[in-house]
């Protein structure tokens, strides 16, 4: 077994497909391939998967991801149709669209790449940065004034520690990275206090949902301390980007539209970031100089 191998845990019935991040003597540090889970396991408890598609859990996760992406595309197409009908009825000039801009910080380079692909597919302007969870607060402090996003996503890997006190899930010390996410959210809120001016989406698998909301997140994981899919934070950001500034983001739609559902993601009422402009920019090749 070596770094980069795809593995499952025997003791958990092969429920999650992982990639080996690091090997420390007889223990492997694992990162979920579809879920934002950071875990460790004895090497003897791991089975190498030569064919990842043979993992039922991985197949199911990818099916759910495809369904979620399809729902986003259908909702986006419906928005376009509705706006075209309104424009035709009012006989107004052709408009242009300004979706909300996203700054996405991710503690996993593979998830970062997949997230940026989805932003591009959905035509959401996004700036992505791969950064270790422990460094996110510093990066948020540095990048927010430069990028000036409408939405910031702070995510990566997390998980409830095995060594915690059994009933101590309200303590941030019981989580692998929730404290790091909270620190980054605090910096974001110091930069912009208004939850409608800057939308914050934060957390990963089993993250301390309540602490993230209390420190300023609009949306966070995980109310039920469950695993969340890698693309769930992206789905929330896209929904925020394409919801009109005149409307609040439909909480039921955005939560139930995610792959992990209501136990995985929650949030508070928040205005969207999508704007329409008039008139649509024209080709100016025929303009004659006057001076």
- How many domains are there within the chain? 2
Evaluate whether residue 105 is within a structural domain.
yes
At residue 280, the pLDDT reads 78
Evaluate whether residue 150 is within a structural domain.
yes
Q: Are residues 23 and 140 in the same domain?
A: no
The residue with tokens 């991985």 is 58
pLDDT < 70 stretches in the chain = 51-93, 164-167, 286
At residue 11, the pLDDT reads 87
Q: Say which CATH number the domain at 129 has.
A: 3.40.50.2300
Model confidence pLDDT, tens digit, residues 137-167: 999 999 999 999 999 999 999 999 987 666 6
Q: Which of 83, 104, 86 is nearest to 240 (CA)?
A: 104
User: 135 near 184, Cβ under 8 Å?
Assistant: no
At residue 25, the pLDDT reads 83
Q: Whole domain around residue 251: which residue ranges?
A: 65-277
Q: Are residues 141 and 221 in the same domain?
A: yes
Q: Are residues 209 and 161 in the same domain?
A: yes
Q: Are residues 50 and 80 in the same domain?
A: no
User: 99 near 273, Cβ under 8 Å?
Assistant: yes
Model confidence pLDDT, tens digit, residues 44-82: 999 888 765 655 555 666 656 666 666 666 666 666 656
Evaluate whether residue 253 is within a structural domain.
yes
3-state helix, strand, coil in the chain (%, to 5): 40, 20, 40
- Token pair of 61, please? 């996760």
- Tell me the C-alpha distance between 274 and 141, whole Å: 25
Evaluate whether residue 289 is within a structural domain.
no
Strands 126-130 and 199-202: unpaired
At residue 277, the pLDDT reads 83
Q: Are residues 36 and 86 in the same domain?
A: no
Q: Taking every pair of C-alpha atoms in the chain, what is the biggest distance, in angstroms?
A: 79
DSSP-based three-state secondary structure for 47: strand
Model confidence pLDDT, tens digit, residues 161-179: 987 666 688 899 999 999 9
DSSP-based three-state secondary structure for 57: helix
Regarding pTM above 0.75, the answer is yes
């Amino acid at each position: 077994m070596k770094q980069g191998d795809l593995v499952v845990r025997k003791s958990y019935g092969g429920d999650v497909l992982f990639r080996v991040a690091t090997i420390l003597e007889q223990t492997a540090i694992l990162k979920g391939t579809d879920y934002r889970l950071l875990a460790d396991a004895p090497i003897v408890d791991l089975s190498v998967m030569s064919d990842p598609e043979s993992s039922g859990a991985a197949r199911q996760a990818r099916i759910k991801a495809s369904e979620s992406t399809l729902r986003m595309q259908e909702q986006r197409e419906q928005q376009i149709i509705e706006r075209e009908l309104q424009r035709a009825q009012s006989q107004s000039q052709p408009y242009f669209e300004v979706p909300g801009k996203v700054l996405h910080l991710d503690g996993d380079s593979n998830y970062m790449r997949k997230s940026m692909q989805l932003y591009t597919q959905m035509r959401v302007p996004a700036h992505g940065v791969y950064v270790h969870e422990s460094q996110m607060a510093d990066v948020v402090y540095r990048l927010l004034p430069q990028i000036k996003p409408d939405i910031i996503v702070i995510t990566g890997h997390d998980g409830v520690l095995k060594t915690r006190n059994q009933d101590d899930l309200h303590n941030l010390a019981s989580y692998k990275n929730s404290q790091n996410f909270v620190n980054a959210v605090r910096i974001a809120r110091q930069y912009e206090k208004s939850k409608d001016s800057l939308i914050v989406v934060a957390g990963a698998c089993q993250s301390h949902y309540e602490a993230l909301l209390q420190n300023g997140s609009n949306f966070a994981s995980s109310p039920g301390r469950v695993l969340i899919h890698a693309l769930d934070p992206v789905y929330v950001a896209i929904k925020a980007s394409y919801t009109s500034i005149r409307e609040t983001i439909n909480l039921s739609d955005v939560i139930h539209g995610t792959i992990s559902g209501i136990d995985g993601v929650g949030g508070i009422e928040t205005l969207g970031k999508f704007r329409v402009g008039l008139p649509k920019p024209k080709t100016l090749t025929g303009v004659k100089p006057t001076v």
